[in-house]
């Protein structure tokens, strides 16, 4: 890490007070706004008609962007988004694609209003471009935002914006990603807001300055046009709307959409008990050669109708696994939108008024220049989102109705695998480069009333998709040996986490080794935590099979389905690696499923039998993890009861209990805490056996049974050996009720992970 | 004398239209009779025969053909009411149908549902995993066998499926469209185990690249094939017993029909048949009226279907979505964009007025039906506003309850918002029209067109009350409401006017420019298949038209578009012309310069469409000319805009209107099966076919 660079602070954008921002604007830039009276006097009919029309405008912008884009990252993976903001940049309506970008868009507009209004000026017919993650707009330099001030009668009325991930914008690594980067200077150059369109004319010098850095300048140029086109669609339709209804009415609707979303979220928060919830997670390895764990921790405090996310205690920035403030905020939105706002229109400008962020500069998710931030969205921002989701789930789990949106952690990262080489199948050999898109098929977390969705996708890009094997084989010289769901990869629980999946490829149609660049996480520690005693989902695992027998097997009429058939030299790939894959070798990757919910020993035996029949779990897991004995496809009730009793006995044997419990509580009139715990008067008790584990008061530890053992005790989903990746000892830690031995927490964490007994089931915790 | 009969079997009603070659057009309607829909077909045919004053056998003996559209296969798929089906696929790739490319979680969901990620799931899987078995074999993208088929393993798999009660097997292997040898051998092995098993091969049902959609298409086709076979053979033998001489044809999603005996083998091609009848009818009517660009809107009680006709041809798609799965079936593009007359008005948690997507369905229906519905719907608002009379539709048998409609709107909308019932009803009407306009615009714009270049057709019971409103929202200034004898059965009219269309396709992905001889061989094979297929239909065609086309894409871009290819010997010039047509279409769809042509163009799928033109093109008969001005049958206060309030409005009885009558809005026209609204500032002209054309009155004219 190089030293901080004086002068770089001015590019750090932060949320603003809109009134203060408005007052700070130069007199040359007048903005259109409305007062509260105009907002209040809207009739419901006009409001709904214009609200729907604004939705339709953003929808059409997204459609224009998607259709004009040349990048499969946009067209296949849907890694893009778009928004309409008010005159100050507050987001009125956002798209449904990469939801992390929502946390970054307004930051760039605020910064532009502050730093570009005087010089070069913000005028009608202008569009700005930025890919500076400190300014905002995107989470790493590959996210490029093009945005436009929309004027009406000389006044700044609104902003439209379009952002998409660009396949390559230069830097030392392919795709602008370098697994060994020391700082941002090894990556793509961040570009603060520049005027790429002036007076409706694309500025060729600026456009060239931007595209020149890329290894695929034509593709990047095409996406630039696509974003300009999307903004044009937005402006054109906004103008039509203003013509039809008048600027004041349209603006009043925009303001009310935000205040409406805000009010509805505040109502929801008010209905919940005040409290604090903490979650801590890790990225294993920060760059090529690193063997450390890097921690992000957050305490979420809900007071009345407001949330505070306090990241104090998060580790310092390191390697390539950092993100800027925009990434942290984007991570928050990735969790907040679907969990708290699934039934509220996504007028993000209003929703974002309901929380504050507390954070230290120079940390993993608030990195200062010149930290490398290439893995920002898929590493630290994603982890931030997973931890926020964990906190929100603990908060909502107390309420049966709102608890419908409780979810154990989903697949916690994107496993990057880039292949590049020579395709010799055509008449002329041709170079190729591809990112394996299959890891888009991650598993979703389990919920209080449902299993997680098997290969449901990624929580942060709800509308992602994976390509067909045939399309991949048509385009690139590989043969896909398998692409399949992995049994047991969903975290065990009363409800099971969704399965992750696995892919194996071998070169086919090329005689030279292809380059293989890897970047991932979640091999040593679980990034897909369970909830309420549910176990984490599987660890990921990437393997290169050297000295492989695959050619001989295929020639002999055999299609291998296990790595052991293929080679005796199976090399677990490090999370960050620059490697190669030669003809005759096999590369196999397994990515994460979702975490489980509730103790697996309480899962409905019929569901376990069904899972076994549908090959969602193995026979070993049915008995060993769920304690269900299945005979002829049906659970054997007697044998299952005995096996489950035995497994609870194992927990009793192996666990340590500090303190004593307080006897049985009256379970007649209690308040739910989560799947296992209730509040009975001023006591916290086990919902299953009624044993009082402690008082409701803050800061007081519950009396719990604790066990720590090897990570494989979490179940057969732990397919990677932590010692292959990090030096820190990694354990399976389980807290149980010391009376009935129901699991209250089951995690795969470093041995120095914070003590859960201080936080489980508590409304308020003391941290630090 | 010869008849053509179109029969449209819907979920609730079975409609039929009979047309002869002497200007007679008759329509009939009868309740559908699930699960055996053939009874309802017989019922409706009896009704037609009665109107003709002939017996059923007499009518059928003189029938040239019956074109039949059915919703039963689609219903069976959507409701999961299908027999167990086995699936054999390439080792290592069984889970394609469970992973669903992830998109299976969200495809086909409304914008409302898309935002609620936690409300989605993948519970709509095609088959249980135990019925999906892998066989050792592998073919690569060039069609080369990498691993031979393990026949012993395959036999064991087939036997285990049969032992588990499976009577139909779908076979879909990787790259089978490049080399179908292993799939064909599997069919032989299945026949060895049991020759009675129903088998479908992906290389025949859907020889198109991208295994997930091909697998799903083959499996769904296998799920409905045996049922369709049983239903059609029952229906056909009953009709034969009743002297039907001509062929029984089944409508397909592609807007053309196919002989009943041929349909089950590629059952999936018939799955959208009831959706397309209205579009085909619009094409036929458009031909008579001289309209070449049409937005066709079919609004029923629970559905709102929108189709597009551009330059006289329906807009086609190569893929559709059924039960959240992408399905490879050449189809007319029909978007279900809203929820029709039964759409429920509600207040969200923020106290904002919302309409749909939930519908009161057929049961209980709108509150005013008095069947226990308490949620206010569009229909209830229309009743409060005076658009609908309390006695209900002219042809309806049941009066509507204004009291229940007012009560529902009052409790759910008006009181919470502090509005009068009338104001709330007017808000529902306006919001519904505006939002329909937004969704309709999306359909047109996403197909690459500007709505202002179109005429809008509105039919179905619930469309004509709103069409002038939603047409204005999208900028269309001419609306046609087809009335006359087929007002209530426009979709069946479409069926009666359809030709026979067969399509054959094959993916052979390659880079442009490619070897013309290879492409010519592809086309020649496909054309032979189409011509053989047409010959098997048992119908005399007036002419046979053959259309060649290629689905192309830019190498780096996802969207595939279909480009026409000139008939005749294929040379490099023809290929370049096809590529140019692709680029032109791409620019229309996605904007000028949107194509990344530097990355190259790929040809993916070759397709031949054969149209057997039937010696029959039913036309709507002309209606009598008006001899004097139109007289309103009555007047009543009607509210069409909140600002204008209730206005004393003339109400016309459509049965009294004649060609040439011009009505000035605001006005309401009551038709036995629907109600047409002419807002202020529009005129309505009855044309020579009895349709009502609504136009915006020229500026300055009295209104």
Per-position DSSP letters for A581-619, written without gaps between them: E-TT-EEEEE---PPPBS-GGGS-HHHHHHHHHTTSS-H
| Chain A residues closer than 8 Å to B438 by CB | 52-53, 55-56
- Average pLDDT for A527-548: 96
Asked if B138 reaches chain A (Cβ–Cβ under 8 Å), the answer is yes
Q: Does the structure show a pLDDT above 80 at A720?
A: yes
B154 and B217 in one domain?
yes
- Per the structure, the complete domain to which residue B154 belongs is given by 83-221
pLDDT in tens, B567-585: 878 888 989 999 999 998 8
Q: Does the structure show a pLDDT above 80 at B678?
A: yes
Q: Does the structure show a pLDDT above 60 at A145?
A: yes
Asked if B438 reaches chain A (Cβ–Cβ under 8 Å), the answer is yes
Asked if A561 reaches chain B (Cβ–Cβ under 8 Å), the answer is yes
Compute CA distances B619 → B9, B257, B458, B492, whole Å: 22, 18, 18, 13
- Answer yes or no: is B460 within a domain: no
- Helices A247-270 and A44-68 cross at an angle (nearest 10°) of 90
| Chain B residues closer than 8 Å to A504 by CB | 92
| Chain A residues closer than 8 Å to B121 by CB | 450, 453, 456
- Answer yes or no: is B443 within a domain: no
Asked if B123 reaches chain A (Cβ–Cβ under 8 Å), the answer is no
pLDDT in tens, B306-350: 999 999 989 888 888 888 999 998 888 888 776 678 889 998 877
pLDDT in tens, A565-591: 999 989 899 999 999 999 999 999 999
What is residue B16's predicted lDDT score, i.e. its pLDDT?
Answer: 93
Say which range, A168-177, A179-188, A481-490, B26-35, has the weakest mean pLDDT.
Answer: B26-35
- Answer yes or no: is B495 within a domain: no
The DSSP H or E segment spanning B542 is none
- Average pLDDT for A446-470: 93
- Average pLDDT for B522-532: 93
Report the gap between the CA of A468 and the closest CA in chain B (Å): 5
Asked if A449 reaches chain B (Cβ–Cβ under 8 Å), the answer is no
Say which range, A124-128, A448-452, A694-698, B321-325, has the weakest mean pLDDT.
Answer: A694-698
- Average pLDDT for B430-452: 86
E-assigned strand segments in A217-292: 275-284
Which of B89, B101, B153, B426 is most worth mutating to test chain A (most A CB atoms within 10 A of its CB)? B101
pLDDT-derived band at B591, boundaries 50, 70, 90: low
- Average pLDDT for A99-123: 96
Report the gap between the CA of A438 and the closest CA in chain B (Å): 9
Between positions 257 and 316 of B, the ones with CB within 8 A of A are none
What is residue B36's predicted lDDT score, i.e. its pLDDT?
Answer: 83
Asked if A47 reaches chain B (Cβ–Cβ under 8 Å), the answer is yes
pLDDT-derived band at B703, boundaries 50, 70, 90: very low
Q: Does the structure show a pLDDT above 90 at A737?
A: yes
What is residue A198's predicted lDDT score, i.e. its pLDDT?
Answer: 96
Question: In this complex, which of B150, B430, B594 lies closest to A226 when CB atoms are compared?
Answer: B594
| Chain A residues closer than 8 Å to B599 by CB | 70, 218-219
| Chain A residues closer than 8 Å to B447 by CB | none
Asked if B597 reaches chain A (Cβ–Cβ under 8 Å), the answer is no
Strand A293-303 and strand A275-284: the pairing is antiparallel
Say which range, A99-113, B9-23, B64-78, B585-599, has the weakest mean pLDDT.
Answer: B585-599
| Chain B residues closer than 8 Å to A457 by CB | 102, 105
| Rounded distance between C-alpha atoms, residue B177 and residue A468, angstroms | 15
Q: Which of B449-463, B532-546, B679-693 has the highest mean pLDDT?
A: B679-693
How does DSSP assign B363-432, residue by residue? TT-SGGGTSS--S-BHHHHHHHTTSS-TT--TT-SS---HHHHHHHHIIIIIHHHT--HHHHHHHHHHHH
| Rounded distance between C-alpha atoms, residue B655 and residue B633, angstroms | 10
Provide the 10 A C-beta neighbour count for residue B326: 20
The whole-chain average pLDDT of chain B stands at 89
Q: Are B344 and B366 in contact (CB under 8 A)?
A: no
| Rounded distance between C-alpha atoms, residue B375 and residue B364, angstroms | 10
Sheet order of strands, B63-70 included: B25-31, B13-20, B3-9, B63-70, B248-251, B257-259, B500-511, B601-613, B543-554, B561-565
| Chain A residues closer than 8 Å to B210 by CB | 468, 470-471
Report the gap between the CA of A59 and the closest CA in chain B (Å): 8
What is residue B701's predicted lDDT score, i.e. its pLDDT?
Answer: 47
| Rounded distance between C-alpha atoms, residue A121 and residue A128, angstroms | 11
Comparison of pLDDT for B589 and B658, the residue scoring more: B658
What is residue A465's predicted lDDT score, i.e. its pLDDT?
Answer: 87
B99 and B151 in one domain?
yes
Report the gap between the CA of B277 and the closest CA in chain A (Å): 29
Asked if B641 reaches chain A (Cβ–Cβ under 8 Å), the answer is no
Q: Which of B613, B647, B681 is the last residue of a domain?
A: B613
Report the gap between the CA of A426 and the closest CA in chain B (Å): 10
Q: By percentage, how much of chain B surpasses pLDDT 90? A: 55
Q: Minimal Cα distance from B174: which residue of A?
A: A470
Q: Which of A654-668, B92-106, B536-550, B629-643 has the highest mean pLDDT?
A: B92-106
| Rounded distance between C-alpha atoms, residue B645 and residue A380, angstroms | 58
- Average pLDDT for B362-391: 90
Question: In this complex, which of A67, A407, A463 lies closest to B559 when CB atoms are compared?
Answer: A67
| Rounded distance between C-alpha atoms, residue A126 and residue A140, angstroms | 24
Question: In this complex, which of B209, B434, B509 lies closest to A49 when CB atoms are compared?
Answer: B434
Strand A541-546 and strand A586-590: the pairing is antiparallel
Closest C-alpha to A184, from A128, A115, A133 = A133
Q: Are B474 and B435 in contact (CB under 8 A)?
A: no
pLDDT in tens, A498-526: 999 999 999 999 999 999 999 999 999 99
* Torsion sign, CA atoms B35, B39, B45, B46: negative
pLDDT in tens, A253-290: 999 999 999 999 999 999 998 999 999 999 999 999 99
What is residue A766's predicted lDDT score, i.e. its pLDDT?
Answer: 46
B380 and B259 in one domain?
no
What is residue A767's predicted lDDT score, i.e. its pLDDT?
Answer: 44
| Rounded distance between C-alpha atoms, residue A501 and residue A512, angstroms | 28
pLDDT in tens, A605-622: 999 999 999 999 999 999
Asked if B582 reaches chain A (Cβ–Cβ under 8 Å), the answer is no
Domain borders along chain A are 18-266, 268-601
Q: In terms of pTM, does the model score above 0.90? A: yes
Q: Does the structure show a pLDDT above 60 at B702?
A: no
Strand partners of residue A45 = none
B188 and B252 in one domain?
no
What is residue B642's predicted lDDT score, i.e. its pLDDT?
Answer: 80
- Average pLDDT for A350-374: 97
Cβ <8 Å between A482 and B438: no
| Chain B residues closer than 8 Å to A456 by CB | 102, 105, 120-122
Report the gap between the CA of B89 and the closest CA in chain A (Å): 12
* Token output for B147: 């691993």
| Chain B residues closer than 8 Å to A229 by CB | 591, 594
B137 and B183 in one domain?
yes
- Average pLDDT for A43-49: 85
| Chain B residues closer than 8 Å to A263 by CB | 350
Asked if B32 reaches chain A (Cβ–Cβ under 8 Å), the answer is no
Say which range, A141-150, B583-592, B677-686, has the weakest mean pLDDT.
Answer: B583-592
Cβ <8 Å between B136 and A44: no
What is residue B360's predicted lDDT score, i.e. its pLDDT?
Answer: 80
The whole-chain average pLDDT of chain A stands at 93
- Average pLDDT for A692-713: 89
- Average pLDDT for B278-283: 91
B38 and B68 in one domain?
yes
Say which range, A174-178, A609-613, B53-57, B214-218, has the weakest mean pLDDT.
Answer: A174-178
Question: In this complex, which of A264, A440, A474 lies closest to B102 when CB atoms are compared?
Answer: A440
Cβ <8 Å between B117 and A404: no
Which of A41, A245, A465 is most worth mutating to test chain B (most B CB atoms within 10 A of its CB)? A465
Asked if A505 reaches chain B (Cβ–Cβ under 8 Å), the answer is no
What is residue A380's predicted lDDT score, i.e. its pLDDT?
Answer: 97
pLDDT in tens, B454-485: 999 998 888 899 999 999 988 899 999 998 88
Q: Does the structure show a pLDDT above 80 at A76?
A: no
Q: Which of B408, B431, B454 is the last residue of a domain?
A: B431
Cβ <8 Å between A453 and B120: yes
B208 and B92 in one domain?
yes
Q: Minimal Cα distance from A408: which residue of B?
A: B118
Say which range, A431-440, A443-452, B82-91, has the weakest mean pLDDT.
Answer: A431-440
- Average pLDDT for B493-509: 89
B426 and B392 in one domain?
yes
Q: Does the structure show a pLDDT above 60 at B700?
A: no
Q: Minimal Cα distance from B101: which residue of A?
A: A466
Cβ <8 Å between A75 and B559: yes
B350 and B422 in one domain?
yes
Cβ <8 Å between B99 and A615: no
Q: Does the structure show a pLDDT above 80 at B78?
A: no
Cβ <8 Å between A263 and B114: no
B198 and B91 in one domain?
yes
Q: Minimal Cα distance from A260: which residue of B?
A: B350
Q: Does the structure show a pLDDT above 60 at A765?
A: no
The total number of structural domains in chain B stands at 5
The DSSP H or E segment spanning B45 is helix B37-52
Asked if A501 reaches chain B (Cβ–Cβ under 8 Å), the answer is yes
B93 and B213 in one domain?
yes
What is residue B675's predicted lDDT score, i.e. its pLDDT?
Answer: 92
What is residue A768's predicted lDDT score, i.e. its pLDDT?
Answer: 37
ipTM value for the complex? 0.94
What is residue A70's predicted lDDT score, i.e. its pLDDT?
Answer: 67
pLDDT in tens, B136-163: 999 999 999 999 999 999 999 999 999 9
B34 and B136 in one domain?
no
């Amino acid at each position: 890490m190089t030293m901080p660079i004086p002068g770089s602070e001015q590019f750090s954008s932060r949320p603003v007070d809109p009134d203060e921002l408005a007052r700070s604007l130069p007199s040359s830039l007048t903005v259109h706004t409305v007062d509260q009276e105009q907002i209040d006097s809207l009739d419901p009919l006009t409001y709904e008609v214009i609200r729907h029309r604004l939705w339709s405008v953003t929808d059409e912008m997204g459609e224009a962007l998607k259709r004009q884009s040349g990048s499969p990252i946009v067209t296949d993976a849907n890694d893009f988004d778009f928004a309409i903001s008010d005159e100050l940049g507050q987001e009125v309506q956002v798209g449904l694609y990469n939801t992390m970008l929502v946390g970054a868009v307004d930051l760039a507009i605020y910064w532009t209003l502050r730093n570009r209004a005087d010089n070069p000026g913000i005028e009608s017919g202008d569009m700005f471009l930025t890919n500076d993650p400190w300014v905002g707009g995107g989470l790493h330099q590959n996210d490029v935002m093009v945005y436009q001030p929309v004027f009406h009668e000389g006044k700044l009325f609104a902003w439209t914006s379009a952002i998409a991930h660009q396949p390559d914008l230069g830097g030392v690594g392919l795709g602008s990603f370098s697994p060994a980067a020391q700082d941002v200077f090894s990556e793509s150059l961040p570009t603060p807001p520049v005027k790429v369109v002036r007076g409706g004319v694309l500025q060729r010098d600026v456009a060239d300055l931007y595209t020149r850095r890329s290894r695929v300048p034509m593709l990047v140029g095409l996406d630039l046009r696509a974003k300009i086109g999307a903004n044009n669609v937005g402006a054109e339709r906004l103008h039509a709307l203003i013509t039809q209804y008048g600027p004041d009415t349209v603006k009043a609707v925009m303001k009310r959409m935000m205040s409406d979303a805000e009010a509805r979220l505040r109502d929801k928060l008010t209905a919940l008990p005040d409290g604090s919830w903490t979650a801590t997670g890790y990225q294993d390895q920060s760059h090529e050669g690193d063997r450390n764990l890097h921690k992000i921790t957050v305490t979420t405090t809900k007071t009345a109708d407001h949330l505070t996310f306090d990241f104090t205690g998060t580790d310092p920035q390191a390697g390539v696994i950092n993100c800027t403030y925009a990434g942290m905020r984007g991570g928050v939105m990735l969790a907040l939108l679907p969990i708290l706002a699934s039934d509220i229109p996504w007028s993000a400008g209003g929703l974002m008024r309901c929380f504050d962020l507390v954070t230290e500069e120079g940390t993993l998710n608030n990195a200062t220049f010149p930290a490398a931030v290439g893995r920002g969205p898929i590493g630290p921002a994603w982890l931030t989102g997973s931890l926020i989701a964990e906190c929100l789930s603990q908060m909502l789990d107390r309420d049966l109705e709102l608890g419908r949106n409780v979810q154990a952690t989903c697949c916690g990262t994107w496993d990057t695998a880039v292949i590049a080489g020579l395709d010799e199948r055509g008449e002329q050999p041709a170079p190729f480069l591809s990112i394996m898109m299959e890891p888009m098929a991650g598993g979703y977390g389990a919920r209080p009333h449902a299993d997680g969705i098997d290969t449901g996708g990624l929580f942060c890009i709800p509308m992602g998709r994976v390509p067909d094997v045939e399309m991949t084989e048509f385009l690139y010289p590989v043969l896909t040996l398998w692409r399949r769901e992995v049994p047991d990869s969903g975290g065990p629980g009363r409800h099971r986490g969704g399965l992750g999946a696995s892919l194996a490829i071998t070169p086919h149609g090329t005689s030279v080794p292809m380059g293989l660049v890897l970047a991932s996480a979640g091999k040593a520690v679980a990034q897909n935590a369970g909830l309420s005693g549910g176990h984490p989902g599987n660890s990921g695992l990437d393997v290169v099979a050297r000295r492989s027998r695959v050619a001989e097997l295929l020639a002999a009429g055999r299609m291998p389905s296990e790595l052991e058939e293929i080679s005796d030299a199976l090399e677990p790939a490090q999370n960050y690696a620059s490697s190669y894959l030669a003809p005759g070798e096999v590369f196999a990757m397994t990515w994460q499923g979702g975490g489980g919910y509730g103790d697996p020993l309480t899962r409905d035996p019929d569901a376990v039998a069904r899972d076994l029949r549908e090959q969602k779990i193995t026979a070993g897991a049915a008995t060993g993890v769920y304690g269900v004995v299945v005979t002829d496809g049906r659970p054997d009730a007697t044998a299952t009861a005995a096996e489950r009793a035995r497994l609870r006995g194992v927990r009793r044997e192996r666990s340590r209990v500090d303190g004593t419990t307080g006897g049985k509580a009256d379970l007649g009139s209690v308040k739910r805490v989560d799947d296992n715990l209730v509040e009975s008067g001023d006591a916290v008790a086990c919902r299953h056996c009624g044993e009082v584990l402690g008082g409701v008061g803050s800061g007081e530890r519950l009396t719990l049974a604790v066990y720590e053992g090897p990570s494989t005790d979490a179940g057969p989903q732990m397919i990677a050996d932590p010692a292959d990746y990090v030096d820190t000892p990694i354990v399976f830690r389980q807290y149980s009720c010391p009376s009935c031995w129901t699991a209250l927490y089951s995690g795969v964490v470093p041995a120095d992970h914070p003590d859960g007994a201080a936080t489980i089931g508590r409304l308020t915790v003391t941290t630090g | 004398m010869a008849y053509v009969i179109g029969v449209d079997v819907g979920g609730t009603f079975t409609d039929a239209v009979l047309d002869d070659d002497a200007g007679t057009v008759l329509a009939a309607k009868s309740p559908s009779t699930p699960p055996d829909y053939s009874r309802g077909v017989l019922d409706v045919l009896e009704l037609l025969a009665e109107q003709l004053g002939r017996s059923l056998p007499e009518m059928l003996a003189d029938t040239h053909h019956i074109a039949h559209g059915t919703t039963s296969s689609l219903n069976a798929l959507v409701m999961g009411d299908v027999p167990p089906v086995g699936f054999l696929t390439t080792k290592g790739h069984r889970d394609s149908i469970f992973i669903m490319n992830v998109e299976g979680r969200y495809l086909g969901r409304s914008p409302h549902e898309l935002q609620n990620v936690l409300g989605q799931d993948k519970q709509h899987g095609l088959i249980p995993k135990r019925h999906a078995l892998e066989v050792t074999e592998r073919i690569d993208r060039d069609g080369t066998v990498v691993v031979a088929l393990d026949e012993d393993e395959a036999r064991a798999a087939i036997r285990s499926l049969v032992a588990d009660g499976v009577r139909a097997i779908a076979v879909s292997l990787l790259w089978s469209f490049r080399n179908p040898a292993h799939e064909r051998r599997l069919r032989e092995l299945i026949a060895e185990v049991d020759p009675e098993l129903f088998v479908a091969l992906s290389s025949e049902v859907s020889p198109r690249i991208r295994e997930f959609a091909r697998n799903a298409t083959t499996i769904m086709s296998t799920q409905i094939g045996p049922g369709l076979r049983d239903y059609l053979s029952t229906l056909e033998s009953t009709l034969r017993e009743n002297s039907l001489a001509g062929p029984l044809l089944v409508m397909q999603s592609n807007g053309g029909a196919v002989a009943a005996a041929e349909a089950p083998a590629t059952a999936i091609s018939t799955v959208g048949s009831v959706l397309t009848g209205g579009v085909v009818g619009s094409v036929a009517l458009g031909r008579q009226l001289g309209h070449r660009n049409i937005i066709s809107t079919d609004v029923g009680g629970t559905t709102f279907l929108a189709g597009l006709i551009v330059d006289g041809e329906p807009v086609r798609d190569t893929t559709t979505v059924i039960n959240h799965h992408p399905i490879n079936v050449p189809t007319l593009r029909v978007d279900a964009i809203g929820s029709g007359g039964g759409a429920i008005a509600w207040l969200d948690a923020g106290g904002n007025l919302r309409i749909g997507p939930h519908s009161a369905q057929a049961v209980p229906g709108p509150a005013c039906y008095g069947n226990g519905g308490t949620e206010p719907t569009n229909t209830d608002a229309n009743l409060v506003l005076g658009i609908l009379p309390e006695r209900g539709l002219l042809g309806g048998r049941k009066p509507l309850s204004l009291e229940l409609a007012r009560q529902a709107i009052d409790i759910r909308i008006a009181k919470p918002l502090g509005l009068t019932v009338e104001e709330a009803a007017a808000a529902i009407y306006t919001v519904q029209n505006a939002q329909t306009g937004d969704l309709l615009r999306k359909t047109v714009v996403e197909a690459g067109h500007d709505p202002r270049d179109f005429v809008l057709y509105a039919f179905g019971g619930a469309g004509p009350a709103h069409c002038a409103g939603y047409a204005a929202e999208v900028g269309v200034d001419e609306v046609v409401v087809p009335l006359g004898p087929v007002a209530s059965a426009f979709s069946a009219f479409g069926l009666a006017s359809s030709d026979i269309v067969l399509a054959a396709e094959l993916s052979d992905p390659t880079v442009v420019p490619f070897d013309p001889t290879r492409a010519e061989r592809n086309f020649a094979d496909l054309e032979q298949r189409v011509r053989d297929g047409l010959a098997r239909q048992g119908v005399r065609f007036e002419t046979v038209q053959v259309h060649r086309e290629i689905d192309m894409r830019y190498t780096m871009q996802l969207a595939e578009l279909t480009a026409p290819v000139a008939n005749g010997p294929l040379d490099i010039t023809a290929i370049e012309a096809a590529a140019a047509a692709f680029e032109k279409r791409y620019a229309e769809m996605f904007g000028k310069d949107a194509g990344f042509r530097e990355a190259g163009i790929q040809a993916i799928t070759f397709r031949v469409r054969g149209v057997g033109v039937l010696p029959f093109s039913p036309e709507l008969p002309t209606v009598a000319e008006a001899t004097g001005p139109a007289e309103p049958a009555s007047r009543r206060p009607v509210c069409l805009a909140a600002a204008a309030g209730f206005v004393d409005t003339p109400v016309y009885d459509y049965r009294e209107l004649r060609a040439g009558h011009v009505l000035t809005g605001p006005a309401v026209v009551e038709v036995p099966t629907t109600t047409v609204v002419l807002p202020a500032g529009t005129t309505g002209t009855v044309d020579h076919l009895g349709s009502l054309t609504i136009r915006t009155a020229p500026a300055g004219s009295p209104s």
